[in-house]
């Protein structure tokens, strides 16, 4: 009997059909049900009613109100466009230069630089925001105090982090590591023979880069460019903590404003109406990204013939290159960690001999006496671990369906999983909120709603599982089936052990994302499901500088072991050696 996918000749047994079907249905539930509820909510009113309450009716009022709001055109759209454009330009230029130095030059200590550059990727954004506010706050920020003392300046500043330039710089520092990872992979996959041929023909390095390197890399460069635009548009953490005091209003914050108005009841329909164009833009960008990724694959220059990367000698540019990399690492990782640790022990004052006498662990004692800290600590690891496990399992099942079967809907499942990348966190949180407010199954306000909300990001493990399964020849499964093993036994004894390194890397990445998550946790916040990033936000919002710095320092210490694991997973062998 021919297999459904050219796989084991016996085809899929009942257990296989049940497991695979359940995985596909659960994936659809995680993504489509919340999005469907979001669409329904946008067109049900009045504003203070849930979609399926008796008084609710179909209406265009929410959409009409949103598009007729003058603030949309005078503040929200301009602020969002300026924020996105500035962040994308600064992020991409910084990430590309760092990736080029690490992958294509003889920069000393490339493996160490790689590890240091990706550190901000592992730290929750609220932690970085608190640190940068302590560093560049207009009144008592360390950098401003130092500059005023050095140049004899009066008043505030001269740097004001609570401004559009300040927000753009901070967001770029936080986003650069992600784009850096994508660009290093692109640069690493390019066969240097084309550049060598150009150099042999007498072309200068600049001419070779402009006429040879850039055209070959263009698809692989444009794809991360679109992805960073998508990521920037959905940002919520830094616009809330840094942008809001500067009266910068972006799309994502407007959604939270409708859910938590200063007076009156939450406007669920209004928030859903704001989310619709935001979601549409995200999916369009995602579609363009997917097309470019496919195009980039046709430009891959890696062949079966072995080659070594051609590393350009930096020469007299070595010192400027080291200074540039050092400035980024200092601004994005080292200084934030130092200012948080100092503030947690010595208080919110720049370093001085007098400040040393004020050393105290009172901030940590205050923090440890706070019940929300211990609740948040347990919830953070529980939610991050369980959601990563769920997504890894579901993504693995979807990957098997896409690669190993001829199921007609497998391409729909592939698109569905990839679509999860285009759903901003604030919209995912809102959509999940609407589902479990309307469906009385008793998980709203518990950690389980966070587990389900975090678990919509199935694109990562689906793609990883697909790539891993394509390297495992189906003959191994056919041999197992021919020996009498059923499908489940074959997967458990043959496929999963071979696929485990890939799945483990996906689990680690998703666990990191879960630990970092702030937006979904804040949208779905209750006293019972609080996580560390929300506890940090609440402390900082209440003006408790030292306890918030203490918590941020603890979060960094908790992340350090993850950095060690991530280095083994993420750092390429040619840099780790």
pLDDT one-digit tens code per residue, 192-235 = 666 667 777 777 767 777 777 777 677 667 778 888 888 898 88
pLDDT one-digit tens code per residue, 498-549 = 888 888 888 888 888 898 899 999 999 998 999 999 999 999 988 888 999 9
Mean pLDDT to the nearest integer, 222-249: 87
- pTM given for the model: 0.85
In order of 108, 163, 222, 487, 490, the CA distances from 482 in angstroms are 54, 67, 47, 11, 11
Of 192-201, 218-227, 244-253, 307-316, least confident by mean pLDDT is 192-201
% of the chain exceeding 70 in pLDDT: 89
Q: Which residue has the higher pLDDT, 98 or 312?
A: 98
Residue 192 is predicted with a pLDDT of 65
Of 1-5, 337-341, 388-392, 429-433, least confident by mean pLDDT is 1-5
Average pLDDT, the chain: 84
CB of 430 closer than 8 Å to CB of 275: yes
Residue 305 is predicted with a pLDDT of 45
Q: Which residue has the higher pLDDT, 332 or 310?
A: 332
Q: Is the pLDDT assigned to residue 81 strictly greater than 60?
A: yes
Highest mean predicted confidence (pLDDT) among 160-164, 285-289, 404-408: 160-164
Q: Is the pLDDT assigned to residue 2 strictly greater than 60?
A: no
Q: Which residue has the higher pLDDT, 560 or 193?
A: 560
Q: Is the pLDDT assigned to residue 382 strictly greater than 70?
A: yes
Q: Quickly state the pLDDT bin for 304 (edges 50, 70, 90).
A: very low
CB of 166 closer than 8 Å to CB of 241: no
Q: Where are the alpha helices (DSSP H) in 189-236?
A: 193-200, 205-208, 214-233
Q: Is the four-CA dihedral 441, 444, 448, 453 of positive or negative sign?
A: positive
Of 90-104, 245-259, 306-320, 448-462, least confident by mean pLDDT is 306-320
Residue 339 is predicted with a pLDDT of 92
Neighbours of 559 (CB within 10 A): 18
Tell me the β-bridge partners of 312.
105
- What's phi and psi for 296, nearest 5 deg? -60, -35
Mean pLDDT to the nearest integer, 456-468: 84
Residue 535 is predicted with a pLDDT of 94
State how far the Cα of 252 lies from the Cα of 347, in Å rounded to an integer.
33
% of the chain exceeding 90 in pLDDT: 31
Which single residue is written with the structure tokens 């929410």? 62
Residue 520 is predicted with a pLDDT of 92
221 is written with which tokens? 């460069």
Q: Pairing state of beta strands 44-45 and 57-58?
A: antiparallel
Residue 301 is predicted with a pLDDT of 45
Q: Is the pLDDT assigned to residue 71 strictly greater than 50?
A: yes
Q: Read out DSSP for 34-102?
A: HHHHHHHHHTEE-TTS-TTSTT-EE-SHHHHHHHT-HHIIIIIHHHHHHHHHHHHHHHHHHHHHHHHHH
Of 55-59, 86-90, 151-155, 370-374, least confident by mean pLDDT is 151-155
Q: Quickly state the pLDDT bin for 308 (edges 50, 70, 90).
A: low
Mean pLDDT to the nearest integer, 270-297: 78
């Amino acid at each position: 009997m021919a297999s459904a996918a050219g796989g084991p000749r016996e085809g899929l047994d009942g257990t296989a059909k049940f497991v695979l079907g359940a995985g596909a249905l659960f994936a659809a539930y995680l993504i489509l049900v919340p999005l469907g509820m979001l669409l329904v909510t946008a067109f049900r009113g009045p504003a203070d009613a849930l979609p399926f309450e008796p008084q609710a009716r179909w209406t265009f009022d929410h959409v009409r109100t949103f598009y007729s709001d003058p603030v949309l055109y005078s503040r929200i759209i301009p602020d969002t466009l300026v924020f996105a454009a500035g962040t994308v330009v600064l992020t991409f230029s910084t990430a590309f230069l760092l990736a080029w130095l690490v992958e294509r030059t003889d920069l000393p200590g490339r493996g160490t630089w790689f590890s240091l550059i990706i550190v901000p990727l592992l730290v929750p954004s609220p932690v970085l925001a608190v640190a940068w506010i302590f560093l560049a706050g207009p009144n008592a920020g360390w950098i401003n105090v130092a500059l005023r003392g050095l140049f004899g300046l009066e008043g505030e500043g001269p740097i004001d982090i609570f401004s559009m330039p300040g927000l753009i710089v901070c967001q770029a520092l936080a986003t650069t590591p992600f784009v850096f990872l994508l660009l290093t992979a692109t640069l690493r996959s390019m066969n240097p023979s084309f550049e060598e041929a150009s150099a042999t023909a007498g072309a200068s390095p600049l001419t070779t880069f402009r006429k040879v390197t850039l055209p070959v890399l263009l698809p692989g460069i444009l794809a991360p460019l679109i992805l960073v635009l998508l990521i920037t548009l959905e940002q919520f953490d830094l616009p809330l903590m840094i942008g809001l005091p500067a009266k910068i209003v972006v799309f994502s914050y407007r959604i939270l404003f409708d859910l938590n108005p200063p007076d009156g009841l939450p406007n669920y329909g209004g928030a859903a109406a704001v989310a619709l164009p935001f979601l549409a833009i995200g999916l369009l960008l995602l579609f363009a990204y997917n097309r470019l990724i496919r195009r980039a694959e046709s430009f891959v220059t890696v062949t079966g013939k072995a080659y070594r990367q051609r590393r350009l000698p930096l020469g007299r540019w070595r010192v400027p290159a080291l200074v540039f990399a050092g400035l980024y690492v200092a601004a994005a990782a080292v200084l934030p960690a130092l200012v948080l640790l100092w503030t947690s022990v010595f208080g919110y004052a720049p370093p001085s001999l007098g400040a040393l006498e004020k050393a105290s662990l009172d901030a940590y004692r205050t923090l440890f006496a706070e019940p929300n800290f211990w609740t948040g600590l347990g919830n953070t690891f529980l939610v991050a671990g369980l959601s990563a496990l769920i997504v890894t399992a579901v993504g693995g099942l979807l990957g098997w369906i896409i690669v190993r079967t001829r199921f007609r809907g497998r391409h729909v499942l592939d698109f569905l999983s990839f679509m999860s990348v285009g759903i901003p966190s604030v919209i995912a949180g809102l959509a999940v909120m609407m589902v479990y407010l309307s469906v009385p199954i008793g998980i709203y306000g518990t950690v389980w709603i966070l587990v389900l909300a975090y678990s919509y990001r199935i694109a990562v493990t689906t793609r990883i599982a697909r790539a891993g399964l394509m390297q495992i020849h189906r003959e191994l499964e056919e041999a197992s089936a021919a020996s009498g093993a059923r499908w489940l036994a074959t997967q458990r004894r043959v496929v999963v052990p071979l696929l485990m390194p890939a799945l483990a890397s996906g689990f680690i990445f998703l666990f990191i994302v879960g630990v970092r998550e702030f937006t979904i946790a804040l949208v779905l916040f209750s006293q019972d499901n609080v996580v560390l990033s929300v506890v940090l936000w609440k402390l900082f919002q209440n003006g408790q500088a030292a306890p918030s710095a203490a918590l941020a320092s603890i979060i960094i210490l908790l992340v350090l072991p993850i950095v060690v694991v991530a280095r083994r997973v993420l750092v390429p062998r040619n840099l780790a050696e």
